[in-house]
Structure 1
Amino acid sequence: MLVRATDGTGQRGHTKPRHVWVNVTENPSYRYAGVLIDWRVDHRGNWEALVVWVDGGGNLKAHAHLGWVAASHVRPTE
């Protein structure tokens, strides 16, 4: 299930920040806590999400990331 913009403004590509799971790896069992900030459509017509996420923690140093990722890498937490 993909998260899509539904902020009621009638504009495509905008959403309220919300908690999501982010997976930018090849392993589907990995997921990182993140916040979805915005949406855009790239030059090929594919949706991308602007997200901030953190990997690591526990025994590993935590690293924060901010970037545009393919919509397929973002999942709602519900």
Structure 2
Amino acid sequence: MSGELGIATASHVRQILIDAVRTCRQVIVDCARLDFCDCAGLNAPIAAQNAAHAHSTTLLLRRTPRQLAACCTAFPTTCV
């Protein structure tokens, strides 16, 4: 992922992630180039994690920026 993950992009990213976890056994998302994430953006990986759990898929967010990493403490199985 790169750029901004906010209200303008969250629904699109959420759908991409959910589609990925429905078709793959493991999904790894590199967040190193993510510049911004707001509450709406945070909902995208949360919804994807819920879908991953329902489909027995592993979803991992790698190299998360500090602002996102702080939020990931609530969802430790999603962020690495």
Question: Which structure dedicates a bigger proportion of its chain to strand?
Answer: 1
TM-score range, shorter chain: under 0.3
Higher relative contact order (CA 8 A, sep 6+): 2
- State the structure with more CA Rg: 1
Q: TM-score, normalised by structure 1?
A: 0.25
